[in-house]
C-alpha cells in the first residue's frame, strides 16, 4: 500500500496511530517477563517520541520525571522506510526491560563488579531475559548467540559500532574545526554552480566561518564548511576541456525541507533523501526521517539522492533547512 507523506506532520500522525499496537506488543512481552521474574514492568507507563539518535530508554522516578519506558517511533514504527526487524524490535524491548530489572530486583554480588548503566548488573539482567548484552544497537544482533558467561566476566568492548559518546566527541571536534579560517582574503575559489570567485571578506562566527565571495557582478555569502566539502567532492576542473553534458551536471538546485527541531543537521552536512509518491505528487524525506519536503509534480522531481545542507533558518512556522542537489 502506498503511504501518503505529503507533510512531515503527516508522517508523525501516521506513526502516532501505530502506538496502540506497539503498546500492546510491549505490554504482552513485559507481562510474560513479569510472570517469570515476579515483577511489574508491564504496569510502567510507556511513552513515544521522534528521536533520531536514541532508540529507547527506561527512566526512573526522580529529577522531575515519573518512571516510564520511552521509545522512538522513527525506529520502531512500521511506516518509516527502514523500521527495525521484528527480532531487533523485541531485543530493544528486552534491553530496556533489563534496565528496569536492574533497579527492581536483587542482583547477586558477583555480578556487581562493573558500575555504570550498562555495567555488569545490567548485563546479568540481559542474560536472564535473552537481550543482547551490548549498550548500542547493531542490526541483526538479536539473532546472534551471546556468550553471557564471557560477557559477565569482562567489560564491554564494542569496537564495531560508533557509540554515541564517540559520536558526540566527533561532533564536538568537527564544531571546533568549523571555526578555523582556512581561506584568505583575495584567494580564488571554485564553486560548482557560480564558477570562479574571489573572497572579499571573511567572518568568523560561533560555530562557523562565512565567506563573502565575488562571482562577477554577484556577491555571495557562503559557509566555509560547505564550500570545502563541495570543493573536495568536485575537485578542480579545467573548464575548457569539459563537455556540455558535464557542464549540465554542475547546475545545482536548492530545495527546502522542514526540520522537526534544531540540532538534527548542520550546514555542510551531506544528506541522503528518499522519495515517496502520493496520488499525483512526490515528496522527499531526509534520512533518517529528520526533515520533510513539500510536494513536487513529476516534472519537478529531485533526481539526485544526495545533497549538502547550505542553510538553516528558524521561522514562526518552524525550522527549515536548504539543501543543494545536482539538477
Distance, CA of 264 to CA of 10 (rounded, Å)? 19
Among the ranges given (99-103, 247-251, 321-325), the one the predictor scored with the smallest mean pLDDT:
247-251
Question: According to the model, what pLDDT value does residue 249 have?
Answer: 43
Question: Residue 152: what pLDDT?
Answer: 54
| More confident of the two residues 9 and 319 | 319
Least confident of 4-13, 285-294, 306-315: 4-13
Q: Is the dihedral of CA 167, 172, 175, 177 positive or negative?
A: negative
Q: What does the pLDDT read at residue 221?
A: 86
Integer Cα distance of 235 and 140 in angstroms: 38
pLDDT: which is higher, 1 or 7: 7
User: Where along the chain do the CATH 2.40.10 domains lie?
Assistant: 162-241
Hey, which residues does 320 pair with through a beta bridge? Answer: 258, 313
Q: What is the separation of C-alpha 315 from the centre of its chain, rounded to a whole number of angstroms?
A: 22
CATH code assigned to 162-241: 2.40.10
Q: In what order do the strands lie in the sheet with 46-49?
A: 46-49, 68-72, 56-59
Q: What angle do CA 280, 284, 286 make, to 5 degrees?
A: 170
The least confident of 28-32, 135-139, 235-239 is 235-239
What is the pLDDT at residue 232? 39
- pLDDT digit string, tens, across residues 121-173: 888 898 888 888 776 655 555 445 655 566 555 554 444 333 333 444 455 55
Reported confidence tier of residue 46, pLDDT bands at 50, 70, 90:
very high
> What's the rounded mean pLDDT across residues 310-327?
85
Assign 279 a pLDDT band (cuts: 50, 70, 90): low
Neighbouring C-beta atoms of residue 157, cutoff 10 Å = 7
pLDDT in the model for residue 207: 67
Better pLDDT: 94 or 161:
94
The mean pLDDT of 53-78, rounded to a whole number, is 84
Task: Please determine, for residue 247, whether its predicted confidence score (pLDDT) is greater than 60.
Answer: no
Indicate the SS3 state at residue 116: coil
Share of the chain above pLDDT 90, in %: 16
Residue 210: its pLDDT value, please?
86
Mean pLDDT of 263-287: 83
Mean pLDDT across 270-296: 83
Split at pLDDT 50, 70, 90, the class of 94 is very high
Give the residue with greater pLDDT, 139 vs 293.
293
Please report the pLDDT score of residue 163 as a whole number: 38
Residue 142 corresponds to which cell in the numbers above?
A: 538479536
Give the pLDDT band of residue 35 (cuts 50, 70, 90). Answer: very high
Q: How far apart are CA 134 and CA 115, in angstroms?
A: 15
Do 223 and 267 form a contact (C-beta atoms < 8 A)?
yes
Q: Is 147 or 113 the better-scoring residue by pLDDT?
A: 113
88 pLDDT exceeds 90?
A: no
Whole-number average pLDDT of the chain = 77
- Give 44's DSSP letter: S
Structure confidence at residue 250 (pLDDT): 47
Amino acid at each position: 500500500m502506498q503511504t501518503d507523506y505529503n507533510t512531515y506532520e503527516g508522517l508523525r500522525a501516521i506513526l502516532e496511530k501505530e502506538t496502540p499496537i506497539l503498546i500492546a506488543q510491549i505490554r504482552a512481552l513485559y507481562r510474560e517477563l513479569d510472570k517469570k521474574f515476579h515483577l511489574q514492568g508491564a504496569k510502567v507507563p510507556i511513552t513515544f517520541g521522534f528521536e533520531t539518535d536514541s532508540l529507547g530508554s527506561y527512566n526512573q522516578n526522580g529529577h522531575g520525571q515519573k518512571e516510564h519506558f520511552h521509545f522512538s517511533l522513527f525506529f520502531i514504527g512500521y511506516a518509516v522506510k527502514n523500521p527495525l526487524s521484528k527480532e531487533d524490535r523485541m531485543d530493544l524491548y528486552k534491553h530496556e526491560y533489563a534496565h528496569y530489572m536492574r533497579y527492581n530486583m536483587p542482583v547477586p554480588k558477583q555480578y556487581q563488579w562493573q558500575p555504570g548503566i550498562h555495567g555488569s548488573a545490567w548485563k546479568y539482567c540481559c542474560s536472564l531475559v535473552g537481550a543482547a548484552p551490548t549498550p548500542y544497537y547493531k542490526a541483526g544482533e538479536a539473532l546472534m548467540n551471546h556468550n553471557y558467561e564471557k560477557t559477565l566476566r569482562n567489560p564491554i568492548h564494542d569496537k564495531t559500532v560508533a557509540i554515541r559518546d564517540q559520536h558526540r566527541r566527533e561532533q564536538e571536534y568537527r564544531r571546533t574545526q568549523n571555526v578555523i579560517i582556512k581561506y584568505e582574503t583575495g584567494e580564488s575559489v571554485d564553486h560548482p554552480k557560480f564558477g570562479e570567485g574571489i573572497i572579499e571578506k571573511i567572518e568568523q562566527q560561533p560555530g562557523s566561518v562565512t565567506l563573502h565571495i565575488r562571482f562577477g557582478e554577484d556577491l555571495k555569502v557562503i559557509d566555509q564548511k560547505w564550500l570545502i566539502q563541495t570543493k573536495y567532492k568536485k575537485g578542480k576542473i579545467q573548464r575548457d576541456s569539459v563537455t556540455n553534458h558535464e557542464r549540465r551536471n554542475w547546475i545545482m538546485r536548492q530545495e527546502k525541507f522542514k526540520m522537526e527541531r534544531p540540532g538534527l543537521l548542520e550546514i555542510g552536512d551531506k544528506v541522503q533523501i528518499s522519495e515517496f509518491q502520493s496520488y499525483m505528487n512526490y515528496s522527499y524525506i531526509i534520512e533518517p526521517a529528520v526533515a520533510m519536503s513539500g510536494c513536487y509534480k513529476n516534472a519537478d522531481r529531485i533526481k539526485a539522492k544526495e545533497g549538502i545542507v547550505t542553510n538553516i533558518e528558524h521561522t514562526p512556522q518552524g525550522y527549515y533547512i536548504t539543501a543543494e542537489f545536482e539538477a
